[in-house]
Amino acid sequence: MGLRDRFRPVLDLVFPPRCVYCGRLGSYLCDACRKEVQPIGRDICIRCGNPMTVRGVCHHCRHDPPDPIRGIRGVFFYKGPIGQSIRSLKYQGVRELAPILGAYLADYIREHPIPIDALIPVPLHPQRLAARGFNQSELLARTITHILGIPTRADVLRRVRATQSQTHLNRAQRRQNVANAFEVAPGVDLRGRTLLIIDDVATTGATLRACALPLHRAGAREIWALTVARAHINTVIAPDGSGPPPAEAFLLWDEERKRSAGLTF
């Protein structure tokens, strides 16, 4: 138990927790804001997890499925209290949000059970880890371990290349940006294993796929990915709110919605 945890009751008295979304005193994500979260639901692309109006395979995945990932799933839309919680966890270091968000992931796995041998958190580059002090994906995975008993293996995958922020990159640029950024630690044998990659948020799934490729090469039998939130490529703005959306940005969800509804645009 760390110092911060040991003194938590005292700290809570001096600095009582506040809801990161509405500011209400009492908890880091209050009951009222928890009622506002927006689950993505069942109508998704079964491969990349993008929301659609019907359950099926989206037009991206018909040409370019996220192999070797069997399926990517996100629990919530990246907006409102969930979007703010993820940003507060990552950029303001409110670690107390990790068990709250991780519990949502555990709930999702419980409701959509697949036999998983291990959870693989998306690793940070060592420099990023040193700057932030923690890997939010690992904290999320460890919460799932705590609740469901599925082991977290944070030692399997390593980020061997620092990558630029994906915020202003389009789909093709994102894939290029994270290509070969990850590798499996030497001597790790994943033959026959079913793995679930854990991250806080996915947009196009490029990072998850870059993680899955070396896992697959190391023998993993089946790879899935689960994130707290799914972001629209245009809704991810820089923490300082700067910069225009990328020129080639596409409104993926709206596009899908129109396609699914048989509309032209």
Residues that bind Zn ion (CB under 5 A): 19, 21-22, 24, 30, 33, 45, 47-48, 58, 61
Q: Using the minimum distance from each CB to Zn ion, give the nearer residue, 21 or 77.
A: 21
Smallest distance, Zn ion to C-beta of residue 84, A? 9
Smallest distance, Zn ion to C-beta of residue 2, A? 26
Residue 68, preceding peptide bond in cis (omega within 30° of 0): yes
Smallest distance, Zn ion to C-beta of residue 152, A? 27
Q: Using the minimum distance from each CB to Zn ion, give the nearer residue, 25 or 247.
A: 25
Q: Using the minimum distance from each CB to Zn ion, give the nearer residue, 134 or 250.
A: 250
Smallest distance, Zn ion to C-beta of residue 205, A? 8
Q: Using the minimum distance from each CB to Zn ion, give the nearer residue, 156 or 212.
A: 212
Q: Using the minimum distance from each CB to Zn ion, give the nearer residue, 45 or 116.
A: 45
Which H or E run includes 27? none
- The alpha carbon of 101 is separated from its chain's Cα centroid by a whole number of angstroms, namely 10
Distance CA 250, CA 172 (A): 12
Smallest distance, Zn ion to C-beta of residue 85, A? 10
Residue spans of alpha helices (H) in the chain: 3-6, 8-14, 31-34, 59-63, 80-91, 97-111, 126-132, 136-148, 171-178, 206-217, 252-260
| Cross-strand bridge partners of residue 196 | 119, 224
Distance CA 248, CA 238 (A): 17
Six token digits for residue 126: 């060592």
